[in-house]
Amino acid sequence: MTWFQEGLYEHHAQMLSMDSVIYHWRTEFQDVLIFENAVFGKVLVLDGVVQLTERDNHIYHEMIAHVPLMAHGRARDVLIVGGGDGGTLKEVLKHPVERATLVEIDGEVIDLSRLYIPEVSDGAFDDPRADVLIMDGTRYIEQSRESFDVIVIDSTDPMGPGEPLFTPAFYGACRRRLRPGGMIVVQSGAPFFQPKELEMVCGRLAASFAGVRPYLAPVPTYAGGMLALVAAGESRDALRPPCKVLRERFGELQGRTRYYTPEVHRAAFTLAPSFGPSCLRE
């Protein structure tokens, strides 16, 4: 049996059997590997780091998209930075948004995901409301004059092309692109292994946003089984509305999510006092 080993952290590695290799290539920006695993189905790896698997990507994509969109409640324009696999786009387009702009640095990630893992985007790239731009997210934010209700940073980790997406300057520029009541969500890695990254994201967002709140989602293929996300907006309470409000907003989305519910939304922000870095604590 051939094994893929993800060795992101010192003294810890996780392995997945590569039951068949579907694709392996180096694009202009990163190494792309797609393989099949008997448990997780198709697996997308960028620069040696697992990005998604067929079996559990819905948890990641639903929690990064529906939490800010449901908290906002009336988003018309949404920006996704990264997210070339199309999973976040698919979830965003389940809402009655007018436009979802996706800015991905590596067009080959989009092409390869559409070709080899089409179930992740499930036709989202063909939706007339989807506006796809191939460019660096930092350059887009600096140059664009568009404004948004929700911005989702669905990037790789703070290394390689993803690194500039974690800077205070980038978060400040995102803040300026948001309309009143706007919200941002940042993919913030595996909290057990990357507590400093999570602290960093919380601290840097706090320089531009009055309300900053981390939340968690269980994603089995991320090291430690947990994904940290950080949401930010004008107030902490706005990010986690009462269940009654979320249930009213759930409407058309009900029955179209596999993991997200209003109760899961509320619970995701409830963090044990002893867990992880201090920024995770209420």
Q: Which residue ranges make up the site for ligand SAM (CB under 6 A)? A: 46, 51-52, 60, 81-85, 103-106, 109, 136-138, 154-156, 161-162, 164-165, 187
242 is an annotated ligand-binding site residue: no
For this structure, is 154 an active site residue? yes
Closest distance to ligand SAM from the beta carbon of 139 (Å): 8
In the bound state with ligand SAM, the residue whose beta carbon lies nearer, of 77 and 250, is 77
Alpha carbon distances (Å) from 241 to 23, 71, 183, 212, 262: 43, 6, 13, 14, 9
In the bound state with ligand SAM, the residue whose beta carbon lies nearer, of 103 and 246, is 103
156 is an annotated ligand-binding site residue: yes
Neighbour-count burial of 167, counting CB atoms closer than 10 A to its CB (0-12 exposed, 13-18 middle, 19+ buried): middle
CA 172 distance to own-chain centroid: 19
Q: One of 19, 106, 154, 237 is an active-site residue; which one?
A: 154
Closest distance to ligand SAM from the beta carbon of 77 (Å): 18
Let me know: does 110 contact 103? Beta carbons within 8 Å.
no
Closest distance to ligand SAM from the beta carbon of 247 (Å): 28
In the bound state with ligand SAM, the residue whose beta carbon lies nearer, of 28 and 282, is 28
154 is an annotated ligand-binding site residue: yes
Residue 39: count other Cβ atoms within 10 Å of its Cβ. 13
Catalytic residues: 154
Positions at the binding site for spermidine: 61, 85, 154-157
